[in-house]
Amino acid sequence: MDYPYPIKIRAVWWENNQVCWIDTSKLPFEEKTYCTDEPERLARAIITMEIRGAPAIGVAAALGVAAYAIKIASSNREEFINRIEDAIKTLWNTRPTAHNLFWALTRMRNTLRSAAEGLSTNEIADRLRAEATRIMDEDIRANIRMGEYGAELVPDNATILTHCNAGALATAAFGTAEGIMRVAWYKGKKIKVIATETRPVLQGARLTVWELMKEGIPVTLITDNMAGYVIRKGLVDLVIVGADRITREGYVINKIGTYMIALAAKRNNVPFYVVAPTSTIDLNSSIDDVVIEERDPNEVKKVLGKPITLEEAKALNYAFDITDPDLVTAIITERGIVKPPFPENLKRIARGG
Q: Which residues bind ligand MRU (CB under 6 A)?
A: 52-55, 98, 164, 166, 170-171, 176, 203, 242-244, 254-255, 319
Nearer to ligand MRU, 84 or 167 (CB): 167
Give the integer Cα–Cα distance in Å for 299 and 252. 24
Whether 244 sits among the annotated catalytic residues: the reply is yes
Residue of closest CB approach to ligand MRU? 242
The minimum distance between CB 171 and ligand MRU, in angstroms, equals 5
Nearer to ligand MRU, 171 or 333 (CB): 171
The amino acid present at 273, given as its one-letter code, is Y
- In angstroms, the Cα distances linking 279 to 210, 247, 316, 350 are 26, 11, 29, 8
Q: Is 248 helix (H, G, I), strand (E, B) or coil?
A: coil
Give the integer Cα–Cα distance in Å for 242 and 163. 8
The minimum distance between CB 350 and ligand MRU, in angstroms, equals 17
216: burial class by Cβ within 10 Å (0-12, 13-18, 19+)? exposed
Nearer to ligand MRU, 166 or 331 (CB): 166
Nearer to ligand MRU, 115 or 328 (CB): 328
The minimum distance between CB 169 and ligand MRU, in angstroms, equals 9
Give the integer Cα–Cα distance in Å for 131 and 137. 10
The minimum distance between CB 102 and ligand MRU, in angstroms, equals 14
Q: Can you list the positions of beta strands (E) in 212-339?
A: 219-222, 238-241, 245-247, 252-255, 272-275, 281-282, 302-303, 306-307, 320-323, 330-333, 336-338
**Residue 281, strand partner residues:** 246
Catalytic residue, candidates 37, 139, 224, 244: 244
Show which residues are catalytic.
Answer: 244
